[in-house]
Amino acid sequence: MTKIASIAAREVRGVHQLGGGVSRAVGAVTQRVGITDERSQGVSVEVGEREAAVDLTLVIEYGESIPRVAQAVRDNVIKRIEGTTGLSVTEVDIAVDDLYFPGDETPEPARVE
């Protein structure tokens, strides 16, 4: 279910990536050694017998309307989870952790061997 929510959130224009600063840093390290999957980063899902609740942490692209992106993410996550699993999604809580500005990526320093 975490993967469904993650993919649904990433389908929305304006979402740069999922996860907060710390989880992105830890995720980058664990991905390099093959321990985790970036799709579950920034996503938490609680599942009951008939219902599910989702918590997402997002990085939004600069220039996008945060309320528009958040509502589009909420709508898409509900649609995908309910359509795929048949569970009723009771809530989708969204935290915007950061804004992405083009050029924010810092290139990794060249390795000297």
- Looking at the predicted structure, is the pLDDT value of residue 108 above 60? no
Q: How much is the average pLDDT of 30-36? A: 49
pLDDT of 103: 80
Higher pLDDT, residue 31 or 55: 55
Q: How much is the average pLDDT of 55-74? A: 97
Please report the domains of the chain, with CATH numbers, ordered by start residue: 2-100 (3.30.70.1350)
The helix/strand/coil state of 72 is helix
User: Across all residues in the chain, what is the average pLDDT?
Assistant: 84
- Looking at the predicted structure, is the pLDDT value of residue 12 above 90? yes
- Dihedral angle sign, alpha carbons of residues 37, 39, 41, 44: negative
pLDDT of 8: 97
